[in-house]
Structure 1
Amino acid sequence: MPNRLATESSPYLRQHAENPVDWYPWGTEAFERAQAEQRPILLSVGYAACHWCHVMAHESFEDADTAALMNALFVNVKVDREERPDIDAIYMQAVQALTGQGGWPMTVVLTPDGTPYWGGTYFPKDDRHGMPSFTRVIQAVANAWREQPDAIARTTEAMRDLYANSSRTSGPTGTVNAALLERAFTEIVTRYDRTLGGFTGAPKFPQTMALDFCLRWHARGGDALALEIAHRSFVAMGRGGLFDQIGGGFARYSTDARWLVPHFEKMLYDNALLVRLGVHLWQATRDDEVRRITESTIGWLAREMTLANGGFASSLDADSEGEEGKFYVWTADEVDAVLGDDAAIARAFWRVQSGGNFEGHAILHVPVAPALVASRLGLTEAQLRTTIERASGALLAAREQRVRPALDDKVLAGWNALMTRALADAARVWRDPAVRALAVRNAELLRDRLVNAAGRVTRVLSHTDGPSVGPGFLEDHAAVALAFLSIHELTLDPAWLHQARRVSDAMRLHFFDETTGAWYDTPNDGEALITRARDLNDNATPAGPSLALEVVLRFGELDGNPATRTQSLESMAPLAEPMGKWPNAFGYLLGVAQLAIDGAVAVALIGEPDSTAIQALAAAVAEKYLPTLVLASSGGETAPAALLEGRAALDGTATAHVCRNFRCEMPVTDAATLLQQLSTPLAVT
């Protein structure tokens, strides 16, 4: 008999619809029952692609005896952290404070008013490896609720103090300036894995935003090590098992330091950030391998993640047929059977050996540089590449016959917007019409289905393609505004600039506190929770405040308003000390800080958007990696931004105006001269 989760929009919640647990979705019904019966709430938070969430579900939530115990002791609530990042962030803060660590599945026990008093992550069904069983834990927690009210009261008071303290805004801890950026880069260098790329330790996450800051730092001052960190790390990930060698796309993280054994789930947001980094790395290096990795990831997105309505699905599961990674790994015999005469070369390239490198199977990876492999095999690099492309196609076709991992097909506004922005950059740089169409179609879906007339963004478009559901958070509004700005830069259609401004205005109205100068993750008219969420760290995705500050700065450049730079630097000042000390936790914000410190390279293109002349100028702009680029075009309309006011087309010909620090150089009409202007080194301070 399905429980209450059967009609929910979230695929993750529906995964639990047949559990014998009497689950409630988050909402008043659960809390009213808890209040009426004075029972604690057991809150379980996870997401569809989470391997250990599946393990705990199979072991405990699908077990009738465990479910009966849960139903007798608690009001049980399930939350998809991707639909409700506010709830996840609030209670993850409590779990980390109580236990010193966090993760998913997250299990938190709350009083009927929503205050946490106990928390943890995964628990096995039976006592194992020093971990208590889930049933033993929940019995002890329920006993404490009945028998130790004073202890519960002390814990809940401490939790309320924790939330009160974290919600207070603080004063400056330093100055956000060029010296801070240098200190942050120096600290990043200490964490750099010079042997394997990325950052030391395992498990190993891409940490794309820190790599992006390194690339920006190189562009700012020419630091060779900064470029090495970004480039070598990206290529190392792209050669490892973290990257799907035949299908494209990156897994969430590597369980080892060598990038070999991934946690096989693929998340939309990881790949959005990595595609954008790959495009910018190619601009800086012209490395064909970087481009192949990036384009292969876009190919995966188009083939496996793009829905019929133009939206992008949220994730692909790590598991299929109950086994993690089964869809992706191979035996040597399977490779031989599929590839025939190409097998020997392919096995040498991807190091496929009898016995494998992962539970008797092989994870395809490229442990030796392709040029060296070609030399060892007596082939040219071109011959090797031709063979590997042919082998990839054959293995991909064979893999398509397997049972696929589950697809979480909900469309999340913020994550889709991150990918749309990456695709817009790729289409603009590589002049690829198919990628352009993919980006524009997704932007149109966001505009038409997830943004209302007032510029408010809704978080989720249901898997059923029904009505959009759930409040949009700060990250959704900011990411959508930035995506629309990027689509404007790609198409030069001023309508997208208007759309971005509409969302930006709504974002400031509902998420910015004018009194404290703070950005909040939840809107001022949203659901009242135990505290108002405000996450300042750039974690797996950029923090909402980081994205919002970039929106403000970009519109400041478009509108000729230098005050936005000063205001943004002041807004970041409370984080100055942690930005310098823990830069990997503020990778995106450091890039935003650079924009505020240095200002934009602003380019106004005047002329008809589809004309050959203006497209030649746009292509010249795309030649250069300009981390603080702001590009705008009026498209023949009345200027939609101050950057475009008073700009004229010389002699009726498409014209470019390059501006720095709100001062513009002589207008130009030919691409070569424009490229020369853009190549002028940025004056750093």
Structure 2
Amino acid sequence: MSNFADHYQQLPGTDGVPAPPLEQYEILRQRRGSAYSPRTRHLLPEGWAKYTNRLFLETSPYLLQHAHNPVNWFPWGEEAFELARQLDRPVLVSIGYATCHWCHVMEEQSFEDETIAEFMNRHYIAIKVDREERPDVDTVYMTAVHAMGLQGGWPLNVFVAPDRKPFYGGTYFPPNDYPGGLGFLSLLMRIRESFVAAPDRISRAGVQLTEAIRTMLAPTEGEESWQEVSLDQAARLYRDRFDDRNGGLVGAPKFPSSLPLGLLLRRYQTGGDRQLLAMAELTLQQMAAGGIYDQAGGGFHRYATDTAWQIPHFEKMLYDNALLAVSYLEGFQATGRTEFAKVAREILRYLQRDMQAPDGAFYSATDADSLSPEGHREEGVFFTWTPEELIDALGEERGNLVAFCYGVTRGGNFEGRSILHRDLSVAELAAELKRPEQELELTLADCRELLYRARAKRPLPLRDEKILASWNGLAISAFARAGLVLNNPELVQTAAKAAGFLMQNMMHDGRLRHSYQEGIARGEAFLDDYAFLIAGLIDLSEAGRDLRWLERSLELCAAAVEQFEDRERGGFFMTGPHHEQLISREKPAYDGVIPSGNSVMVRNLLRLNTLTGAVRLQEQAERALSAFATQLARSPAALSEMLLAVDYQQQTPKEVVIVAPVGRPEMAEPFLAGFRRVFLPNRVLVVVCEGDELRQAERLIPLLEGKVAEGDRAVAYLCKNRSCQRPTSDPEEFYRQLKETG
């Protein structure tokens, strides 16, 4: 068998640039195995890749996608910037992620082009960054692009001086000039000329942009107080921009996260404003009926490109689905609509069968693109259908039924094919078809399962099998909360298995790691990793009635405070003392498609304070809220998740305790049945048996003191600020107390 060195070819334009020893490539190629298939159009007759760069030595799926480009890519690190200083070259920092459609397009058009690659290799140092592995780097340079007045997105391409200061950037660039704009090669030439001819101007631009980045990454300062933040005013802002036909906010593209459903449901629960409830209901209903929802396989795509949730961008992300599962659970509790619980179950089933690793953790994402029957990589082809394909999979009668119910036509609604969606509810379809509703629902469920199996025979979209601590924390929350609300212990066990994987494989020397790939935990954890995992463990402790998860959450919380807290101004930085120091240190102050680490961390501190009574946790939370008070008052939409923490404080959290007799945890179940029927978001829950279990729990949870069962009957306690209503051993009385409190 020939070795790597027999086939290695110098990257075009890299004469005199040092390369890693060939032995490193050969050893890693053998470790990956003969099944490793390079993704490149530059293949030698023997099937070897014509070119290989340093990214082949990485584990990130995104970096490996570029490992055989003719571009001489470097991973982020001092080696690249030191070489830029020695050669006096500008640096291109190109940032993306493995399932990014336009990243694929730019790779094919520009980074696989040998002419463009040769120019880059002769005149630039090129760095590739996986934004999911280095969110700190991504944030700094995305902020630079925003400071230039440009729209952000991925791929993110930023031109940087050897001192790491950015001076120009953008997102996707087409390879060739076009009316009104420069193509990528022309832009590379123009920037290189400026870098050589006007170094002072480049330096000034870098200094100015760096100052702008530092300003933009710090919370706005002012005199406002978080206690005076009006949640009703924030809700009105969303009401004014609400799309009363399709749900969500008006306009396109439509992201599920753009409308904070949790805030609307909490304001309805507090003030009884049924318009807010209707906004949440319509949005949940329309999203689940639209093409943004994978009708055959469950789970949501990343966003819709139209106003009616019909045409998605077909990526599927772990974080979206974990967060949306919680939204549908809360919608179910607030409204009693069982279809919302059904959607939550389907989301979690999708995560279990398509996204769960054998050891229990969850992979990151799947691609929008896959191979068509003709062998071309196309967006959405895996998820779309023709009438003929439905008949092949289901038979003529059922194929025609599904085509009618899910809008599959000969012309299609996406590049000649159809995205499954429902324009009518099942009840409306049953009435139109003159069929019993329950029978139709069962038939359609069978058909969806058959379609899932049929399309599994198609070329699958790429799955990014990187395991991220932060996104897994969100998934743990989703499964734990669903297990509690839906009375499904299997879902709680799924959450516990994922949590166990993270604690066993991603903790080293008492510190959490950020990612896990190819059996290796990598990178110092960021604020998000700690905050989201802490939240997941608190939820798991409540749902699984296992104190070890509460203990782990308290340990991680102490570590997060130690590493990330701004002790002068309050709040938390994204990075800690063990991270690389970039040109700016972010204090996350924006809730986008993923909540900010600060928003989640504040709620963690408040929940743990309610459970343990530790005053320092309350003080840390209130210092953080004060740090963001001006932004909360002036731009509440920017921190919609932190508004939930404000709501938690303003409504005074409830303490729900159920004590069962020794060794009889099942006696708590009638009380939990009532608990599940009430939407009570601002609360903690403790379920415990008398005896050793209760005594051990009291060490962590002082509010358990003095709370006992009544002989062989469980007793429920509903408290606020450690002041309790009359304890009851009657589940119906407990349910009435909860309803009156909620």
Q: TM-score, normalised by structure 1?
A: 0.95
Letter matched to residue 716 of structure 2: A
Shift in Å, 1:583: 3.7
Structure 1 residue 422 corresponds to structure 2 residue 478: yes
Shift in Å, 1:654: 3.4
Q: The residue matched to 2:226 in structure 1 has which SS? A: coil
Q: Deviation string for 1:73-115 (max 9, x for gaps)?
A: 1111111111111110011000111143111000011111111
Q: In the aligned structure 2, how far is the partner of 1:209 from the partner of 1:412? A: 25
Given candidates 666, 670, 679, the residue that maps to 1:612 is: 666
Shift in Å, 1:570: 5.0
Residue 645 of structure 1 is matched in structure 2 by 705
Structure 1 residue runs of 4 or more that deviate by more than 6 Å after TM superposition = none
Structure 1 residue 260 corresponds to structure 2 residue 310: yes
Q: In the aligned structure 2, how far is the partner of 1:547 from the partner of 1:367? A: 36
Structure 1 residue 527 corresponds to structure 2 residue 580: yes
Q: The residue matched to 1:49 in structure 2 has which SS? A: coil
Measured on the aligned residues, the alpha-carbon RMSD in Å equals: 1.9
Residue 654 of structure 1 is matched in structure 2 by 714
Change (3 A) 1:671 1:431: same
Assess if the C-alpha contact under 8 Å between 2:150 and 2:170 holds in 1. no
Structure 1 residue 515 corresponds to structure 2 residue 579: no
Asked which structure has the greater RCO (Cα within 8 Å, sep 6+), the reply is 1
Which stretch of the first structure deviates more once superposed, 300-309 or 380-389?
A: 380-389
Residue 681 of structure 1 is matched in structure 2 by 741
* Aligned 1:59-458 pairs, distance under 5 A: 59-128=109-178, 130-166=180-216, 170-177=220-227, 180-207=230-257, 210-321=260-371, 322-340=377-395, 341-452=397-508, 454=510, 456-458=511-513
Shift in Å, 1:328: 0.4
Residue 629 of structure 1 is matched in structure 2 by 683
Change (3 A) 1:609 1:413: farther
Letter matched to residue 481 of structure 2: D
Q: In the aligned structure 2, how far is the partner of 1:668 from the partner of 1:504? A: 34
Change (3 A) 1:332 1:187: same
Change (3 A) 1:318 1:173: farther
Q: In the aligned structure 2, how far is the partner of 1:562 from the partner of 1:679? A: 30
Shift in Å, 1:563: 7.3
Assess if the C-alpha contact under 8 Å between 1:35 and 1:112 holds in 2. yes
Q: The residue matched to 2:419 in structure 1 has which SS? A: coil
Assess if the C-alpha contact under 8 Å between 1:657 and 1:668 holds in 2. yes
Q: In the aligned structure 1, how far is the partner of 2:617 from the partner of 2:723? A: 16
Q: In the aligned structure 2, how far is the partner of 1:580 from the partner of 1:194? A: 26
Q: Deviation string for 1:377-423 (max 9, x for gaps)?
A: 11121122122112112211110110000000111001011011011
Which stretch of the first structure deviates more once superposed, 377-386 or 73-82?
A: 377-386
Q: The residue matched to 1:659 in structure 2 has which SS? A: strand
Assess if the C-alpha contact under 8 Å between 2:393 and 2:451 holds in 1. yes
Q: In the aligned structure 1, how far is the partner of 2:409 from the partner of 2:527? A: 48
* Aligned 1:536-615 pairs, distance under 5 A: 536-561=589-614, 568-569=621-622, 571-607=624-660, 611-615=665-669
Shift in Å, 1:618: 3.2
Residue 471 of structure 1 is matched in structure 2 by 524
Residue 536 of structure 2 is matched in structure 1 by 483
Assess if the C-alpha contact under 8 Å between 1:609 and 1:615 holds in 2. no
% identical aligned pairs: 35
Change (3 A) 1:137 1:657: same
Shift in Å, 1:30: 1.0
Letter matched to residue 623 of structure 1: R
Change (3 A) 1:221 1:153: same
Q: In the aligned structure 2, how far is the partner of 1:156 from the partner of 1:594? A: 41
Change (3 A) 1:581 1:348: farther
Change (3 A) 1:261 1:427: same
Assess if the C-alpha contact under 8 Å between 1:560 and 1:662 holds in 2. no
Letter matched to residue 719 of structure 2: C
Q: In the aligned structure 2, how far is the partner of 1:596 from the partner of 1:426? A: 24
Change (3 A) 1:561 1:335: same
Unaligned runs of 5+ in 1: none
Q: The residue matched to 1:196 in structure 2 has which SS? A: coil
Assess if the C-alpha contact under 8 Å between 2:218 and 2:587 holds in 1. no
Which stretch of the first structure deviates more once superposed, 520-529 or 581-590?
A: 581-590
Residue 44 of structure 2 is matched in structure 1 by none
Assess if the C-alpha contact under 8 Å between 1:260 and 1:365 holds in 2. yes
Give 1 or 2 for the bigger CA radius of gyration. 2
Q: In the aligned structure 1, how far is the partner of 2:116 from the partner of 2:515? A: 32
Assess if the C-alpha contact under 8 Å between 2:220 and 2:631 holds in 1. no
Letter matched to residue 602 of structure 2: L
Assess if the C-alpha contact under 8 Å between 1:520 and 1:532 holds in 2. yes
Which stretch of the first structure deviates more once superposed, 525-534 or 401-410?
A: 525-534
Given candidates 458, 461, 469, the residue that maps to 2:516 is: 461
Assess if the C-alpha contact under 8 Å between 1:550 and 1:592 holds in 2. yes
Shift in Å, 1:567: 5.7
Which stretch of the first structure deviates more once superposed, 157-166 or 511-520?
A: 157-166
Q: In the aligned structure 2, how far is the partner of 1:128 from the partner of 1:423? A: 49
Matched pairs, number: 679
Assess if the C-alpha contact under 8 Å between 2:318 and 2:365 holds in 1. yes
Q: In the aligned structure 2, how far is the partner of 1:282 from the partner of 1:428? A: 13
Q: The residue matched to 1:109 in structure 2 has which SS? A: strand
Unaligned runs of 5+ in 2: 1-50, 372-376
Shift in Å, 1:647: 2.8
Residue 43 of structure 1 is matched in structure 2 by 93
Q: In the aligned structure 2, how far is the partner of 1:559 from the partner of 1:221? A: 29
Q: The residue matched to 2:740 in structure 1 has which SS? A: coil
Letter matched to residue 478 of structure 1: A
Assess if the C-alpha contact under 8 Å between 2:218 and 2:586 holds in 1. no
Q: The residue matched to 1:24 in structure 2 has which SS? A: strand
Shift in Å, 1:489: 0.4
Q: In the aligned structure 1, how far is the partner of 2:454 from the partner of 2:443? A: 17
Assess if the C-alpha contact under 8 Å between 2:714 and 2:729 holds in 1. yes
Assess if the C-alpha contact under 8 Å between 2:52 and 2:67 holds in 1. yes
Q: In the aligned structure 1, how far is the partner of 2:314 from the partner of 2:411? A: 20
Assess if the C-alpha contact under 8 Å between 1:172 and 1:573 holds in 2. no
Q: In the aligned structure 2, how far is the partner of 1:370 from the partner of 1:628? A: 34
Q: In the aligned structure 2, how far is the partner of 1:40 from the partner of 1:668? A: 72
Q: The residue matched to 1:78 in structure 2 has which SS? A: strand
Letter matched to residue 618 of structure 1: L
Change (3 A) 1:335 1:380: same
Which stretch of the first structure deviates more once superposed, 375-384 or 254-263?
A: 375-384
Q: The residue matched to 1:271 in structure 2 has which SS? A: helix
Q: Deviation string for 1:253-309 (max 9, x for gaps)?
A: 000001010000001000011000111111111212212222111111111001111
Q: In the aligned structure 2, how far is the partner of 1:573 from the partner of 1:286? A: 36
